[in-house]
Amino acid sequence: MILELGCGKGEYTVGLARIYPEKNFIGLDIKGARIWTGAKAAQDEGLTNVAFLRTRIDFISSFFARNEVDEIWITFPDPQEKRQRQKKRLSGAHFLNRYRAFLKDGGMVHLKTDNLQFYNDTLELVHFNNLPVEQNSTDVYNEGWNDEIVTIQTYYEKRFLAEGTKINYIRFRLPAGKEIRALTDDSE
């Protein structure tokens, strides 16, 4: 099972479901009007390996059992740039520790963002906690990648690319038994 957190219109959830029909995908978002678009597309195409869940990410551990999820995709989330909001970052220590409750040991976390500072902060946190990095880039479209990272684009991603914004990506593993420590007590 693979989750997309803050899935918006579900472009990534549906796109991954098309590419990997043997896997199951769930898109999560708080706004029902957004996920309706992805749910409608999946229904119209007859995709049976995709579903959507309307909920706050804060409640995510209530929906999944231990070791139930293989991967998490975080695509173009709000970077929560203000210092007092950084605890709300979906790739911050607070949420990474929540994901450990249901993510398989060594499960994959993908982050794709237009915000270089958000990407750098996440990469710094990952290195600080010695989490295994599988792949990362500050400009995925100019490195010749030819996989789902570049073939599926969200509404926002298309807009950012049209504006000339570089797209950042990091994929890392999250060990089950390791508590993720924040960089500083007041930043996470």
- Catalytic amino acids? 78
In angstroms, the CA 143 to CA 140 distance is 5
Convert 56-91 to b/e letters by CB count within 10 Å (16 or more is b): ebeebeeebeeeebebbbbbbbebbeeeeebebbbb
DSSP of 39-87? HHHHHHHT-SSEEEEE--GGGGGGT--TT-EEEEEEES-----SGGGGG
